[in-house]
A and B are shown apart, each in its own frame.
Chain A
Amino acid sequence: MPDTGRRGLPTRRQLLTRIGALAGSAALYQAMTSLGHAQGTDFSGPPVLTGARRGTRVLVLGAGLAGMLAAHELRKAGYQVQVLEFQGRSGGRNISLRGGDTITELGGATQKVGFAPGNYINPGPWRIPYHHQGLLHYCREFGIELEPFVELNHNSWLHSSSAFNGSPVRYREFSADFHGFTAELLAKAIDQHRLDDVVGADEHEYLRAAMREWGNLDASMAYRKGRLTSETRGYEKAAGAGPDGAPVPSGLLARKDVMRSGLWTWMAFHEHLDMQTTMFQPVGGMDMIGRGFTRQVHDLITLNCRVSAIHQNDRGVSVTYGDMNHGGVVREAQADYCVCTIPLPVLSQLDVQVSPAMQAAIMAVPYASSVKMGLEFRRRFWEEDEQIYGGISFTDQPISQISYPSHGYLSRGPAVLLGGYMFGPAAYDFAGMTPAQRLEAALTQGEVLHPRQYRKEFSNGISFAWSRTPWTMGCCSMWSEQARKTHYKALCTMDNRVVLAGEHASYVGCWQEGAILSALSAVTQLHQRAQGA
């Protein structure tokens, strides 16, 4: 393909190649960034806050990632920081559960995690996009080791209750056939001149060539059973050695079923920017990030403080809280400024003295319901029997998906998978069940994807219902277009001496990156306010 732009101007690629050759990769990266490529979220580096007035006090409410990062950056800038946390742990929604942990949910149900040593489930965040530059920056700075998270696995299952007789199909078989049949149809339409009014003659050849290669079509532009298609969708009998080593091609799914099944939705899913390769997870559990942040600011945090009121006036901020370390005795903490990261379902019910606009914003953003389930099995049957190493199988049943661990491959002994992860109606439904009912439903539905092993190899499991979690009373922020238009700026803009942070105060809602970016915005605003005051 010619690589020149119109009127002899260099194309972007040519320009970048020249810059790269001349100035090396650092300059190339710089240039790519300024030309709009290689960009992550809106993060360009940690804030540089200088000249804080000595002795200026900041009270941070909440020791999740947003609160701990705000505390870290503010202390670095010279502020005197104190953090109050409701729970008996820091980390917030950055949490992992291991054997011996206990979950008590609203309504009183208590579960004890029975996983074997070394196993864990991440009931909150579990994967990190490569372009969440803010979070990745601090993982690097705080020495938190990451490993790849396998999002897309071509050998995982796709299941629809109403397609393919209710049997799961392999992702690679489905995607190969979907691409192949689509390419075949498009090629046919071109050859029959059905697209002549929209596709110019000069484009025909390129399109045909692309369809042929992309869809694995034969010379007659047909998608059919054979070696060519099996090289993508897999063989009936795999290639081997010896006298009987010849591979046997696999049969195709029926085109009508492929199109009707709706399973292509899961092909599109992995293509979203947020789900694209490479994704990461911390080695050892997501809470390694919370622990890494805690190492930076542990000396500033007081656990078990239940905030009930946030007041402010011309001179400062006053926060009332129950000191649960001392029988709930009511105390007051004073500061010059406050960074509040309390989740909105809780904050909206506290006595908070902010402007009517911020108050309305706090009331305007509900939290979604979400449920996750961690199931431990006696062995990695998905690896040993089915060659599934990490990744996700999807189903149209309420559990929505099964995700296999992206670590510990090929090891022996018990392992934990994500046996269900839902939002929306299914999450409301599962949250309303007892833990035992949730587990039974997870096994009944998971069994459809793994009929031979699911019940037999199951050892123990837990469920985590975010709307029944006392310290968040929901999973994460749920913005409507109307609320975003009316309330977003008021929620995120410092109100006299109080500024809010947390994923809810960002456009990267429900991701840890939202917490990071909102904390940086909050401390920057606070510093400007303090400098001007």
Chain B
Amino acid sequence: MMMRRTVFAGVMAAMLPLVAGVAAHADTASGFSGPVQPLNSGEAVYQHVCQGCHMPDGRGAMGAGARFPAFADNPKLQSSAYPVYVVLNGYGGMPWLGGILNDQQIAEVVNYIRTHFGNHYTDAITARDVATQRPPHTPEEE
């Protein structure tokens, strides 16, 4: 449902190869997500997609005995392959974002996270590195 609407709206179709980022939900009333921010830098992706859970300061948050992980002092960021994997596939409660973000955007946001919030990794990645990790994800039809 989401896929159809968004494609017809023509908003992101050209930019995103796999527009269907969100499974069809029963009570969404909102398959149509409207014009989305341009998201043309790692910072923009972080601000408009990531910080809703990981927070503007990258510190994450603690919920009911579970947490949104922080990016500072997080050893899992040592290899860029791990955050790329998580963004593409999701992890636990975190949705896969391979549908709403393209390879370039994923590369940029991973580079952003690995150079901010107290991180200083120097091995930046490119869209091509992300492409090699991209799995198939098909949201369920409603």
- Report which A residues bind B (CB closer than 8 A): 86, 106-107, 125, 127, 161, 262, 265, 269, 272, 274-275, 306-308, 322, 342-346, 348-350, 363, 366-370, 392, 394-401, 421-432, 465, 467-471, 473-474, 476, 478-482, 484, 508-511, 514
Do the beta carbons of A265 and B5 come within 8 Å of each other?
A: yes
Q: Number of B residues contacting the other chain (C-beta, 8 Å)?
A: 54
The contact string, 1 if C-beta is below 8 Å from chain A, for chain B 1-12, is 010110011110
Chain B residues with CB below 8 A from A481, complex form: 138-140
Chain B residues with CB below 8 A from A474, complex form: 93
* Nearest B residue (CB) for A262: B8
State whether the Cβ of B48 lies closer than 8 Å to any Cβ in chain A: yes
The answer to whether residues A125 and B27 also contact, given A308-B65, A345-B93 and a CB cut-off of 8 A, is yes
Do the beta carbons of B68 and A106 come within 8 Å of each other?
A: yes
Chain A residues with CB below 8 A from B90, complex form: 366
Pair count A-B, CB < 8 A: 201
Give the docked Cα–Cα distance between A399 and B4 (Å).
19
Chain A residues with CB below 8 A from B67, complex form: 349
State whether the Cβ of B118 lies closer than 8 Å to any Cβ in chain A: no
The answer to whether residues A471 and B138 also contact, given A125-B27, A511-B27 and a CB cut-off of 8 A, is no
* Nearest A residue (CB) for B142: A272
Do the beta carbons of B49 and A428 come within 8 Å of each other?
A: yes
Do the beta carbons of A482 and B136 come within 8 Å of each other?
A: yes
The contact string, 1 if C-beta is below 8 Å from chain A, for chain B 31-42, is 111111100000
Kindly provide the distance from the CB of A198 to the nearest chain B CB, expressed in whole angstroms: 24
Chain A residues with CB below 8 A from B94, complex form: 345, 366
Question: Of A262, A425, A467, which contacts B100 at CB under 8 A?
Answer: A425
Do the beta carbons of A431 and B137 come within 8 Å of each other?
A: no
Chain B residues with CB below 8 A from A342, complex form: 64
Most buried by A among B4, B10, B23, B142: B23
Closest CB pairs A-B (n = 4)? A345-B93, A431-B52, A349-B66, A106-B61
Give the docked Cα–Cα distance between A68 and B118 (Å).
45
Kindly provide the distance from the CB of B137 to the nearest chain A CB, expressed in whole angstroms: 5
User: Can you list 5 A-B contacts with CB-CB less than 8 angstroms, sorted by A residue number?
Assistant: A363-B92, A396-B11, A426-B33, A432-B49, A482-B136
Kindly provide the distance from the CB of B117 to the nearest chain A CB, expressed in whole angstroms: 15
Chain B residues with CB below 8 A from A343, complex form: 93
Chain A residues with CB below 8 A from B11, complex form: 396
The contact string, 1 if C-beta is below 8 Å from chain A, for chain B 80-112, is 000000000011111110001000000000000
